[in-house]
């Protein structure tokens, strides 16, 4: 029987601060190490350890 990798898989949700992205984050965070992006500066998302500011038109 093959060995199972015990490391947690990671998921990056582009647009994690939007309606669908937040729902995906809430669902996946129980099973994966989930991260999300947000476009516009917002204190809530900036202080959330799993979300990162990313603007595809500038970065």
Q: Please check whether residue 1 lies inside any domain of the structure.
A: no
**When comparing pLDDT for 4 and 30, which is higher?**
30
Question: Using one digit for the tens of pLDDT, what is the confidence trace for 12-29?
Answer: 999 888 899 999 999 999
Count how many domains the chain has.
Answer: 1
CB-CB contact of 37 with 17 (8 Å) = yes
**When comparing pLDDT for 2 and 42, which is higher?**
42
Q: How far apart are the first and last CA of the chain?
A: 45
Nearest CA-CA partner of 14 in 36, 44, 39, 46: 36
Q: Please check whether residue 24 lies inside any domain of the structure.
A: yes
Q: Please check whether residue 2 lies inside any domain of the structure.
A: no
DSSP string for residues in 7-56: SPPEEEETTTTSHHHHHHHHHHTTTSEEEEEESS--HHHHHSTTEEE--T
Q: Please check whether residue 46 lies inside any domain of the structure.
A: yes
**When comparing pLDDT for 3 and 46, which is higher?**
46
């Amino acid at each position: 029987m093959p060995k199972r990798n015990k490391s947690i898989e990671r998921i990056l949700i582009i647009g994690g601060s939007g309606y669908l992205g937040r729902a995906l984050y809430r669902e996946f965070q129980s099973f994966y190490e989930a991260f999300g992006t947000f476009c516009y500066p917002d204190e809530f998302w900036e202080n959330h350890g799993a979300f990162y500011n990313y603007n595809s038109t500038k970065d």
